[in-house]
Amino acid sequence: MEGRPSNSQSEHVELLRKIREFTRAIVEDLSNGRSPTILIDRFRNYCKNPIANCYCSSDKSYGKEILTLRRESHVHRLDVLLRVLLIVQQLLHENKHGSKRDIYYMHPSVFSDQSVVDRAINDICLLMQCSRHNLNVVSVGKGLVMGWIRFSEGRKIFDCINCPNSANPVPVYVEEVKDIISGAHYILVVEKESVFQRLANDQFCNKNRCIVLTGRGYPDIPTRRFLRLLIEKLCLPAYCLVDCDPYGFDILTIYRFGSMKMAYDAKYMRVPEIRWLGAFPSDSENYSLPEQCLLPLTAEDKRKIEAMLLRCYLQREVTPWRLELKLMLQKGVKFEIEALSVHSLSFLSESYIPSKIQGGVHI
């Protein structure tokens, strides 16, 4: 656990007050011979009915979960929730930060799995009506950034402009990021580190005044919050480049709409402005990819695509994305961005990306 200045003192005080209030309510219920009834709001950022007149985009809760002492599954969840809450209370008191993994290792036999801790943290955020970073719980940052940008995080200065083709870690304490200066024309988000490194090797940011960011697969919270911060502060267009497969598409939707797991906090993390730059299923023909670069969709891929096609937000907000996804299913093939290098190693940085951005070939 790491000690550092963090959220404002008043935020801490307020959060600690809410934790005490929550504890007091439990003690009061027990003292009155009642089972504590813990109501947890439920959020979702999509439903599975593409033609529904739903409220998924409203950021409002659509129901509540009720935890009591009547069901064993509830009691176990409550046990984990309270244990994590006690750790959070200590973190806030001592003004320290801890990672989800740190918390997991405090009671590994009870938590049994990291996902159990993750769920408890989400529950606490919902109960305390705050975001995860307010709890002083941080993830181990894994995002990377490079390009025409300079900023500070606490006392640390990130001067990417000095060396625009070098990878820098995305700051973990995004709320402390200040003094953002940029000469970029756009932000490019790439799914994979391999593509990020390809662009770095090709001196992409020297030739194109931009900021390149990667979440290295499914993006973590700091990466998404940092991207959101950059767009808000710099008002730059953002483009996303992902593999042409169901996982690439899913990652794209997480940048655009947020994840279901953290739907309660989606409004602070989603980037509605982001544009899909590629790779589109139609690119295989447009860029004449040879057959051997195309892989057949597996049964699991098809199942995932079919499930994603039902997400209401695709039909409502990004119909062209949905059409491309449908096309992927129809064609029955997928390919990685690296497949575009079949023409030449630097095809991606010298031709594919610049031409798409200049030609407005994004959706």
Partner 1 sequence: MAFGVRSKTKESTMAFSSVQSLTLHLISSAFQRCRLSEQICRLSVIFNRSSPSLLQLVRISISDTGIGSCLEEFQDLKLSGEADSENWDGVLSVKTTSSDDNEIHHYQLNLKERGSSRRLNRLPSNTKNGAKFSGTEVCLAVPLNIDLLLAQITSFLQKILILKIHNVAIELVAENGDVPESRYEKVFLANQLPLPIVASNLELLKSGLEDYVVKHGNRLSTTCNSCFPSGEHLKVGVGIACCTKNHLYNGVMMEAVIVISEKQLTSTCPMVYGAKTEVLYFKNFSPYTISKASIKALKSIDWRRYGLNLRSALQQDSSALLEWENLPPYAQIDIVLHCYHKDKRMRLTAREKTQLERKLIREAVKLSLDDLKDKHVGVLLSAHALKIRSYAPDLAKTIAGLILSSGDSDFQGECFSLLGLQSQGLGTETVENSIKDKIVSVIDMNDKSTQKTKDVTSFLFYDDRFHQVDFEEMEYEDDFSPLDI
Q: Is 264 a catalytic residue?
A: no
Q: Decide: is 165 part of the binding site for partner 1 (CB under 8 A).
A: no
| Residue 335 CB neighbour total at 10 angstroms | 22
The Cα angle at residue 116 between residues 115 and 121, in degrees rounded to 5: 95
Q: What DSSP line would sit under 300-361, residue for residue?
A: HHHHHHHHHHT-HHHHHH-HHHHHHHHHHHHHTEEB-GGGGGGT-TTHIIIIIHHHHHHHT-
Q: Decide: is 360 part of the binding site for partner 1 (CB under 8 A).
A: no
Helices (H) and strands (E) in the chain, counts: 16, 16
The CB-of-10 to partner 1 minimum distance in angstroms stands at 16
| Residue 298 CB neighbour total at 10 angstroms | 12
Which lies closer to partner 1 via its Cβ, residue 24 or residue 156?
Answer: 24
Residues in the chain: 363
Which lies closer to partner 1 via its Cβ, residue 304 or residue 331?
Answer: 304
Backbone φ and ψ of 262, nearest 5°: -115, 40
Interatomic CA distance for residues 259 and 68, integer angstroms: 27
321-325 long-range contacts, CB within 8 A, separation 24+: 321/249, 321/252, 321/276, 321/363, 322/50, 324/276, 324/280, 324/281, 324/282, 324/363, 325/249, 325/281
The CB-of-237 to partner 1 minimum distance in angstroms stands at 25
The CB-of-131 to partner 1 minimum distance in angstroms stands at 13
**The binder of partner 1 chosen from 28, 159, 306, 317 (CB under 8 A):** 28
Which lies closer to partner 1 via its Cβ, residue 247 or residue 347?
Answer: 247
Q: Which of residues 294-323 bind partner 1 (CB under 8 A)?
A: 304, 307
Q: Which of residues 203-242 bind partner 1 (CB under 8 A)?
A: 217-221
How many residues bind partner 1 (CB under 8 A)? The answer is 57
Q: Which stretch binds partner 1 (CB under 8 A): 168-176, 192-200, 259-267, 276-284?
A: 259-267
The CB-of-218 to partner 1 minimum distance in angstroms stands at 4
Q: Decide: is 23 part of the binding site for partner 1 (CB under 8 A).
A: yes
Q: Decide: is 114 part of the binding site for partner 1 (CB under 8 A).
A: yes
**The binder of partner 1 chosen from 1, 26, 236, 295 (CB under 8 A):** 26
Which lies closer to partner 1 via its Cβ, residue 164 or residue 222?
Answer: 222
CB 190 within 8 A of CB 200: no
Residues linked to residue 137 through DSSP beta bridges, in sequence order: 98
Interatomic CA distance for residues 309 and 325, integer angstroms: 7
Residues in the site for partner 1, rule: CB under 8 A? 16, 19-20, 23-24, 26-28, 30-31, 33-35, 42, 44, 48, 63, 65-66, 69-72, 75-76, 78-79, 82-83, 85-86, 89-90, 93, 100-101, 110, 113-115, 118, 139-140, 142, 217-221, 247, 250, 259-262, 304, 307
For the annotated catalytic residues, the residue numbers are 105
